[in-house]
């Protein structure tokens, strides 16, 4: 089985080589891809998305279209501050409180920080759908991100706060080249997915992996905790 870093490098190279990555290129990030808007449209037509009222979404570029569709559909959107660097690291966007111009801008990273309401963990509504970005996934629900671990930390914080549970659906949007026909390395803190949306279709996977139980403190090093104010505030430093 390849290491996570080997998988990341292989996918990034393949996306650039095949011309399916978009500015600023794939390497080192959740890669933007050709057809990201269509993948978002496919996801937004799925019954589980339509049923959701509050969606937690990652701030990466390829999911911008999905975030915009969520707001246009009247759904509340929860986004994390990049790298969880603020004391209150989540922003709540309510389309009922946004003008049309603000709504379009709010789907971007900068716009979410500008228009989103700062909320403490305990003040957030319960979340019934999670959208995350991916570098690679497989049809067993395994997911590999860019390596920072922040999606896993955000999920753990929300589990510990009682805002999501093991039954909350998790989706990602990717290019088909990012769906690998191989086993991927999965650890206790990794977040698996239930839905994979591509420009062609939405795939409901038979997830073989358990969700993280919350923040796995024994997996964190003291420098990581010190860099994230909400973790320090929880008293585990």
Residue-wise pLDDT for 159-211, tens only, equals 999 999 989 999 999 999 999 999 999 988 899 999 999 999 999 998 889 88
Q: Which two tokens stand for residue 151?
A: 């999606």
User: Cα(83)–Cα(87) distance, rounded to whole angstroms?
Assistant: 11
Give the CATH fold of the 4-231 domain. Answer: Rossmann fold (3.40.50)
In angstroms, the Cα distances linking 210 to 114, 167, 184 are: 35, 11, 14
Residue-wise pLDDT for 30-65, tens only, equals 999 999 999 999 999 999 999 999 999 999 999 999
235 — pLDDT class (breaks 50, 70, 90): low
User: Cα(163)–Cα(121) distance, rounded to whole angstroms?
Assistant: 8
User: Cα(146)–Cα(135) distance, rounded to whole angstroms?
Assistant: 6
The pLDDT, as a whole number, for residue 4 is: 97
113 burial level (CB within 10 Å; 0-12, 13-18, 19+): middle
**Residues 80, 59 contacting (CB under 8 angstroms):** yes
Q: Where are the domains of the chain?
A: 4-231
Beta bridge partners, 80, equal 90
Q: Which residue is associated with the tokens 């190279």?
A: 13
User: Cα(91)–Cα(203) distance, rounded to whole angstroms?
Assistant: 29
């Amino acid at each position: 089985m390849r290491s996570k870093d080997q998988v990341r490098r292989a996918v990034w190279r393949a996306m650039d080589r095949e011309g399916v990555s978009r500015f600023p290129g794939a390497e080192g990030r959740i890669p933007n891809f050709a057809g990201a808007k269509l993948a978002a449209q496919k996801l937004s037509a799925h019954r589980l998305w339509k049923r959701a009222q509050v969606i937690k979404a990652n701030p990466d570029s390829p999911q911008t279209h999905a975030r915009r569709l969520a707001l246009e559909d009247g759904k509340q959107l929860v986004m994390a501050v990049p790298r969880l660097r603020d004391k209150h690291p989540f922003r709540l966007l309510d389309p009922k409180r946004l003008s049309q111009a603000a709504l379009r801008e709010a789907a971007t990273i900068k716009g979410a920080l500008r228009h989103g309401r700062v909320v403490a963990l305990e003040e957030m509504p319960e979340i019934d759908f999670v959208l995350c970005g991916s570098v690679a996934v497989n049809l067993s629900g395994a997911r590999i991100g860019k390596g920072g671990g922040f999606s896993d930390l955000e999920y753990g914080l929300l589990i510990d706060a009682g805002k999501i549970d093991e039954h909350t659906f998790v989706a990602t949007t990717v290019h088909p080249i990012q769906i690998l026909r191989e086993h991927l390395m999965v650890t206790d803190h990794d977040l698996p997915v239930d839905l994979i949306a591509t420009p062609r279709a939405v795939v409901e996977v038979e997830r073989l992996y358990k969700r993280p139980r919350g923040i796995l403190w024994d997996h964190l090093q003291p420098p990581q905790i010190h860099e994230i104010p909400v973790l320090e505030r929880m008293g585990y430093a």
